[in-house]
């Protein structure tokens, strides 16, 4: 756990934006329960928002867009963790940018990627899905971007800071629409994704990132 915390701090430090922009960190979800690992399937970005908010953006990347079914395609679940010293309640999760049908829950599993502290999901079959979702954490004093970069528990797929479910994928292993035909057309299906891979920062930010990473490590040592 010590090594993972320090590594997370170093990765986060390398992903901070310049002083003229809001700070942000980004991670790729490059693991899947149904597709091959090692491909960047989604990107999660956490950024400093207005009035102390922490903004999340989760985006499906081209490898999944290439196998979208053309029907009801998009993100239907997203899970993240929270640092032990941060208390996030329903009132702190601003989902106003999401369509009706999204709900918030706590302590949820994500099909092989472990147990997460918080999860947003679609509960209404009529809720439109999108390849990108946004929400914010608001009303919490002294939280930082690092407050939401924590490993899930009991993962069997691999280490993961975040996990997402994407529906409407045309996978080659999906069940055929009809067993009585020889059609190769398959039913759209879903898959779960996770990962810990940081999106590399531009080279010009590496020097700043090193300094920020040092502060992150010091913060962990003080907390320990």
Query: pTM for the whole thing?
Result: 0.79
In the structure, what pLDDT confidence band is assigned to residue 186 with cuts at 50, 70 and 90?
Answer: confident
**What is the residue-wise DSSP string for the chain?**
-HHHHHHHHHHHHHTPPPTTS--EEEEEE-EESSS-TTS--EEEEEEE-GGG-EEEEEEE-HHHHTTB-SSS-EEEEEEE---TT----GGGEE-TTSPTTEEEEEEEE-TTS-EEEEEEEE--TTSPPBSEEEEEE-S-TT--GGGG----BS-SS---SEEEEEEEE--TTSPBS-TTS----B--EEEEEEE-EEPPPPGGGHHHHHHHHHHHHHHHHHH-
Report the C-alpha gap between 123 and 102 in whole angstroms. 6
For residues 46-74, average pLDDT: 95
User: Largest Cα–Cα distance in the chain?
Assistant: 65
Laid out side by side, the sheet with 132-137 consists of: 93-94, 132-137, 54-60, 42-48, 24-29, 197-198
**What is residue 181's predicted lDDT score, i.e. its pLDDT?**
52
pLDDT (tens digit per residue) in 94-110: 999 999 999 999 988 99
For residues 49-62, average pLDDT: 97
Answer yes or no: are the C-beta atoms of 78 and 133 closer than 8 Å: yes
pLDDT (tens digit per residue) in 142-176: 999 999 999 999 999 999 999 999 999 998 754 55
Quick one: residue 178, left, alpha or beta (phi over 0 = left, psi -120 to 50 = alpha)?
beta
pLDDT (tens digit per residue) in 107-151: 889 999 999 999 999 998 889 999 999 999 999 999 999 999 999
58: its two tokens: 């989760």
């Amino acid at each position: 756990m010590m090594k993972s915390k320090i590594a997370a701090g170093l990765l986060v430090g390398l992903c901070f934006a310049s002083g003229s922009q809001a700070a942000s960190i980004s991670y790729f979800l490059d693991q899947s329960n149904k597709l091959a690992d090692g491909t960047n399937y989604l990107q999660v970005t956490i950024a400093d928002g207005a009035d102390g908010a922490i903004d999340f953006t989760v985006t499906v990347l081209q490898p999944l867009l290439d196998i979208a079914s053309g029907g009801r395609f998009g993100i239907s679940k997203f899970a993240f963790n929270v640092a032990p010293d941060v208390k996030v309640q329903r009132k702190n999760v601003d989902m106003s940018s999401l369509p009706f049908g999204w709900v918030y829950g706590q302590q949820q599993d994500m099909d092989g990627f472990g147990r997460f502290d918080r999860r947003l999901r679609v509960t209404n079959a009529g809720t439109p899905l999108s390849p990108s979702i946004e929400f914010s954490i608001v009303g919490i004093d002294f939280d930082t971007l690092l407050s939401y970069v924590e490993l899930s528990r009991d993962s069997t797929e691999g280490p993961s800071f975040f996990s997402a479910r994407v529906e409407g994928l045309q996978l080659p292993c999906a069940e055929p629409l009809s067993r009585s035909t020889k059609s190769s057309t398959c039913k759209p299906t879903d898959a779960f994704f996770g990962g810990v891979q940081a999106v590399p920062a531009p080279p010009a930010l590496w020097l700043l990132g090193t300094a920020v990473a040092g502060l992150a490590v010091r913060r962990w040592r003080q907390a320990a």
